[in-house]
Amino acid sequence: MGYLNNKEYADLVRKCATIVSKSKEKLEIMDITTFRTIKADIDKDLFNEAEINDHVTYIEASDGAKVLEIRKQ
């Protein structure tokens, strides 16, 4: 398995949250299992369709959180 020597791996878990607020190109979301509030990055197209109380799928890494999809209520 020598071809994997220079790769980095991250343990990413998709998580669910609810949008609490929107600000300039970022969302504030609340994790539905831990009730922790998180500032998350989001792509511009998704940001435009996001509304407060929508459910989102997001991931967290060492450099922050990112919303991957929105599920309308």
Phi and psi for 36 in degrees, rounded to 5? -80, 140
**Region 44-72 average pLDDT:** 93
The structure's pTM equals: 0.80
Residue 1 clears pLDDT 60, i.e. is over it = no
Domains belonging to the chain, first-starting first, are: 12-71 (2.40.50.140)
d(CA 39, CA 3): 36
Cα–Cα–Cα angle for 11, 60, 73, rounded to 5 degrees? 120
Per-residue pLDDT reduced to its tens digit, 5-51: 655 666 677 899 999 999 988 999 999 999 999 999 999 999 999 99
